[in-house]
Structure 1
Amino acid sequence: MAYRILHTEWSDGYGGQEMRIIAEMQEMRKRGHYVALATRDSCMILQKARELGFDTYVVPFSGKFDLRSILQLKKITQENNFQIINTHSGIDTWVGGLASLISNAKFIRTRHLSNKINSSRLNFINELADFIMTTGESVKEAMIKDNRIKSDKILSVPTGIDEERFAPMRYDKQKSRKKYNIPQEKIVVGFLGILRRFKRFDNFVSLAREIHKSYPNVYFAIGGGGVGKEYLDKLVCGYINENGEKIESAESYVGRIGFIDNPAEFLEAIDIFVLTSDSGEGVSQALMQALFMEKICIAADIGSLKDLYCDNNFILTNDATLESFIKALIDVLKKRVDIKINREFMVDNFSLSSMGNKIEGIYKRLLEC
């Protein structure tokens, strides 16, 4: 049976959360469902959805109790016979959730991040949801424990990765390095992600500075754009620190690639992937993509990143400190660790088809039972 689903998004950026929404919309459309998007006119996801041929609606989403947006969303839902409103960020979750109450649509709330949700009884919108999807197990368990969510109304549905696109045999390392101006002869350590503070790209640059002292043959490549670009430029190009000391430029061994239009191709160009995030992650799409591309990966045990861990398939540090990342990378460079690449585990549990099957099961439960 085909369903009609309206996704909502308030966020301006275009990072992992927004990419997840687009990937989910594409997978559900491929399965025969009608999927559309309601978002603000300033949001980057709006243009992406239009480029892909999805119907879109511009809604102000000016605040949690924005009556104009609630009524507009109600009208959109009823006139287009949407059966489900699937919300994603804080403000659009309040607006979409309240609109669902007066439009008779089912309300699905997707929670992407791992930071704690206010447990106040006044923060009741999640409890109104007919169902909640999270991107990781730890997020699910926290909402059950802290936010009064019933265990039978919530499920972890990790973002699915396109296994055909993220397949190392499809790409040529030399060509990929040439495209991104990465030295051919170096060992390349990469970072990929939108430049937000919780990604701690500052620690990645500090990691590069420290490792370069003893391993001059290691090159560091940072892929991604966003609001932190100016800060990143300062960190790489050199600056005066709080003690008045001059920090020299690292431009000769730290490359700033900017926005990456083909993450798989960028990942093929590197040898080691390091995710320096210290908070905020559900299950990192960049880490999943790197594991699909069979890269040696290093990340901290935060959020739901442990969901991706299977019998030493990557290094999961106990904390997200710079010291832990330095030690882990040195262990890799000195070949002290036995990483067991396991693409089959990733395909079985984190592919687009796996995600799509879980989501269709939720739709069927809500609309046919």
Structure 2
Amino acid sequence: MAIIGTALKFMIFDKPKSIGVIIGIVISIFLIGQQLGTLRYLTSLMSGLIVNSNSTDQDIWILDNSTNNVNTLSKIDGRIAREVKSIEGVQESYSVVIANASITFDGSKTSPVNLVGSDGPFFVAGPNVSKIIQGSLNDLYQRDAISAEYFNSKNLGVELHAGQMLELNNKAATIKVLTKNAQAFGGFYMYTSLDNARFYSGFPNDKISIVVVKAIPGVATNVLVNRINKTFYGVKAWPVSELKKSTLSEILVTSNIGVSFGSLVLFAMISGFFIIGLTLYSSALDRLVDYGTLKAIGATNGFVTRLILTQAFLFAIIGFLIAIALLILFKNAVAGAGLIINLDWQLSLLLLAVTLVISVGGSLFAVVKISRLEPASIF
């Protein structure tokens, strides 16, 4: 505890540089947290078709074998949904249709959307029941019923609500269900029944986009996936978790989103490391007499090193707490616009580790300088 008290005295004595170090930590960690939180949000949108569905991680999705991305689907034979039930280990299968359409509101506001259709009462393709804020899944049974997303109101320029009428591919439709946080990556999802999706989009009756398979409890998912892939030609069965990973990998590579966010995080870490390191080094130069005096009265290099590292640790904790507070304010500010930043314990722990690396690592410049200091040279 004595060394903590001494470290605090050093920090308080040189207030301008202490404030500079803390500000450097806060800026670096806030930027890193902002970028990582936004990237996590975007990656959740990339697999939004899965995340927003009522499917579970134990389910199997069958797609056309030409794609590794759930957002780029081709039509497959609708008979597969029936035939797959004959495979040992399959409990049930569900057909899903994903179709392009165009919606038009009063005032000629038009926008492209993705219609997502599946059969009730389960509506395996979604919307997920936890994301419904108006209406219910049963309302999608109605012939003209579709869903809409609360956070799409701003982009569409229309205040969306249940009961609102619109034109869907020049046919009358009614919003019966309003969702919140059931968003898509680079587009809009509107959920409906399988028949409605075909009716509004003109999707062929003998074709579907996805087959969702539920396994009998106790049947290994990988075993069932292999059975399906050996049975059917032209399609590929995916465990849901692997399909998510494949989708994220393909989008991050082809769009360079990962490189963009990664470079920003890397530069924030590097700049923070050197700004903090040079500030601590400058502070150590200003305090050479104090450190030299400590060594002259018997303090070892080990003690002085611990003193500098303790200061760095305290700077890290203070800066981290301020940065987290600012990130929470940022999270709450952008939540109303639909940008959902998840500051869970994993991200917080990662940010704490980065803070310690930046602060403690940067202090090594000062440690090297002071460890080489000869007490006699200051007198």
TM-score by length of 2: 0.24
Q: Which structure has the larger Rg over C-alpha atoms?
A: 2
Higher helix share: 2
TM-score by length of 1: 0.25
Structure ranking higher on relative contact order (CA contacts 8 Å, 6+ apart): 2
